[in-house]
Amino acid sequence: MNHKKVLELIEEKEGVHVEFKQRFSSHEKIAKELIAFANTSGGYLLIGIDDDASVYGIASEKSDTELIRETAEKYCEPPIDYRISFHEIKHKEVLVVEVLESKIKPHRLQDFNKTLDLNTAQVYVRINDKSVLASKEMIKLMQTTSSGKSLVNYNVGKIEKSVFEFLDKNELITVKELSKHCNISERRASRTLIKLVRANIILIHVKDNGENYFTYSG
């Protein structure tokens, strides 16, 4: 990370790949941002920069480095890989944490459960300039993508055909709409839509509030 790149990040302000923090607030709040970047497409957390891009700087390189290490290793499950660099901006020290997109998604806030519980796990993703809780559908998709398992002999059945018929008449479909349309449980509707995403037949999208909807991939 060079000085020019840091200035560019500050200039473009917060977005999908950039988050500002005036100071290290708490392990959980910082973990939320690291997790969201790792679960989405990577990004940069700049500490010592306020939301309006004002430069405040950090108090101590050593202590903030240790706080980031503790957060990434002890408050994220699984732990998150990161890179740290320090840059002098307007005569003040700014800490930049770079997080790459993870290959072992989904990451969640540490809950000390041996396995991920879809009902309680706090899994975050990045939507525009916010880190929001991921839906169950998004978590399932991350799990199947990270597992590397591909769909073999996937058969299009009655429910799948109902999805196509619905999308032929409407621009998008949600889990609740499919559940109601086919008179099936939301769990089954969710499973069907995720399989269609994995088969590259439909696409999953995320609203600003973290909710999902699905459209044709074409």
Domains, in order of start, for the chain: 3-134 (3.30.950.30), 142-216 (1.10.10.10)
- Which secondary-structure segment (H or E) carries 214? strand 212-216
Burial class (CB in 10 A: 0-12, 13-18, 19+), 215: middle
Please determine, for residue 199, whether its predicted confidence score (pLDDT) is greater than 90. no
Q: Widest CA span of the chain, in angstroms?
A: 65
Tokens 């405040």 correspond to 56
The number of beta carbons lying within 10 Å of the beta carbon of residue 159 is 18
Q: How confident is the model at residue 152 (pLDDT cuts 50, 70, 90)?
A: low
163-180 per-position pLDDT tens digit: 999 999 999 999 999 999
Query: What average pLDDT does range 145-164 have in this prediction?
Result: 78
Q: How confident is the model at residue 149 (pLDDT cuts 50, 70, 90)?
A: low
List the single range of 65-74, 105-114, 199-208 with lowest mean pLDDT: 199-208
Give the model's pLDDT for residue 110: 97
Strand locations in 81-211 (E):
83-89, 92-99, 108-109, 124-127, 130-133, 202-206
Q: Which residues contact 68 (CB under 8 A, 6 or more apart)?
A: 24, 30, 82, 84, 95, 97
Helix (H, G, I), strand (E, B) or coil at 61: helix
Give the model's pLDDT for residue 151: 62
Please determine, for residue 98, whether its predicted confidence score (pLDDT) is greater than 70. yes
Give the model's pLDDT for residue 146: 76
Q: How confident is the model at residue 153 (pLDDT cuts 50, 70, 90)?
A: low
Given a contact cutoff of 8 angstroms between Cβ atoms, the answer to whether 193 and 175 are in contact is: yes
Say which residue, 145 or 170, is predicted with more confidence. 170
Give the model's pLDDT for residue 150: 60
Say which residue, 59 or 180, is predicted with more confidence. 180
